[in-house]
Amino acid sequence: MTELVSVKNLGMTFSNRQVLKDLNFKIERGSMTSLIGPNGVGKTTLVRILIGSLQPTAGELTFSPDKQSLNIGYVPQFRNLEAEYPLSIRSFVSLNQLTKHLPWHTKSERQALDKILAQTHLTALQKTTVGNASGGEKQKAYLAQALISEPDLLILDESTASLDIETKEEVMALVAELNRLHGLTVIFVTHDLDLARKYTDQYLFLKRGQYEMGPMSQLDPNLELD
């Protein structure tokens, strides 16, 4: 695998409060990494730096040599839209397509939409309104919406936190399938260590004022985050 993201001596300070200090890690293309740690240690800050909404106060963030910036797909924590939400799954997913032709997509845009609906197992459900979809189907729609732009990096930001166990497994199994079949690079922000161990290759463990990174097999089996 080749390097996609490199972080060197990264630091972030807000009004004399240091959130991140001397953080160093690399994300390889095609890897699946769990970003873990208790609340308040800087996970959200790091995600905001990765997606470009914050600039670090120290250190540097660089991307693979052929990229000045990354196309990042972002899936938030599960949001249970109201039953009255009117858009179909197909229309909801298409909202992330950068097009001037809405609501009439070009042929290539329709093909991209068909492709991502198939990859996320939503083709048969594409006419279902999002409001009437199950929790797992809604979260797959968010996932498909994030993936339609063919991101270099997918960030799952506590995106399974409010789902039941069966649905969590379903969503993460789908992400692992996309990683395996299409080389999708994933950062999974989570407190669920069982899911992290089952579906990701490595971990980045943020602690107060320090960090630890390694293969998932080396994560302390007795670790508790809460």
Residue 116 CA to residue 146 CA, distance in Å, equals: 10
- Relative to beta strand 58-63, strand 3-14 is antiparallel
Burial class (CB within 10 angstroms; exposed 0-12, middle 13-18, buried 19+) of 217: exposed
- Give the separation between CA 72 and CA 69, rounded to whole angstroms: 9
pLDDT value for 210: 85
Successive 10-residue mean pLDDT values, the chain, 226 residues: 90 88 94 94 93 91 76 83 83 71 69 91 94 89 91 92 89 94 94 95 91 93 78
Give backbone dihedrals phi and psi of 150, rounded to 5 degrees, phi first.
Answer: 55, 65
What pLDDT does residue 45 have? Answer: 93
pLDDT of residue 103: 55
